[in-house]
Structure 1
Amino acid sequence: MPVLTALSAAMSIRMDGVWPFAAAAVGVAASVVLGVAAVRLERRLRVELAAVRADQAAEYSDTHARYSEEHRQFTSHMVGLLDVAAERIDAMRTQVNKLEVELNYSQHGRPGASTPSNQLAQRAEGADWNDLWPDLSDAPTVVDLVAWDDKQRMRRAGPADADADERTA
């Protein structure tokens, strides 16, 4: 627009008369008004664009802070779980080491011993499973249980069936 205004002003100087000069003056004034309006509009658009970008940056910052906090909480929770698991593993390793020592002692420390001590059973499972026989030397063996089962079968079958069972065995 300023270029056209300058051309029209130059042509009005070559032409004689007031009307071309007045038209060029009006063109210059319109060009100045439109230029000022364009500059103000551009500034307003830049301010609006900067405000929109600032809002987006603030929203991103808030979201990033929230994600970071959630990540820190999750990491803290997982580290806590791993610490508890590590403590359990350490406790189990200690118990296994004690049991291995007790087992090695029972196998090598007491030659000829056929029954393990009560301490081995209490450490392995706890005292509640062996309340029936607190001393493992009193607990029935597999041989005792098979013999008891045979006696029960003979008692139910009677003497004739017992002889038939012995013959088939």
Structure 2
Amino acid sequence: MAETVLHLPDEAAMLALGARIAPHARIGDVIALEGALGMGKTTLARGILAALGLEGEAPSPSFAIVQPYDVPEVRLPVAHVDLYRLDAAEEAEELALGDYLMDSMLLIEWPDRLGDGLWSHALRLTIEDAGEDAGEGGRRLTADVPDAWTERWSQI
């Protein structure tokens, strides 16, 4: 698994990254968004969803847990998942997220709540504060790129 680090100075850059990722997304993909509260996971998800054709703002699925989007609302079916409210990985099993992979893409916030259950082909995007000490500000995104994404990621 290759690793790439990107600096995203502001919200517009986060949305733009989502717009660059979206054209490479396929049914069966898992994009895992990791990071502390307020780091921009939902913003990145919104950038992906908007570039897939979603009009209007995508609500955070914090309370619904799974927010599905289907064609023609988006160009390919997406299940936007927010696992923040889960207390144990066993609770995620009840969501049957794997079933979505047959005909959708999974966009998962808080994938650590799955325990060891995250798919090995998942594109893992970890977002952290870039830190004012480094003079950067904004966010630092670390992409753990699995083989399934290697060629696609090189085009983003």
Q: TM-score, normalised by structure 2?
A: 0.17
Structure number having the greater strand percentage: 2
Larger radius of gyration: 1
Structure number having the greater helix percentage: 1
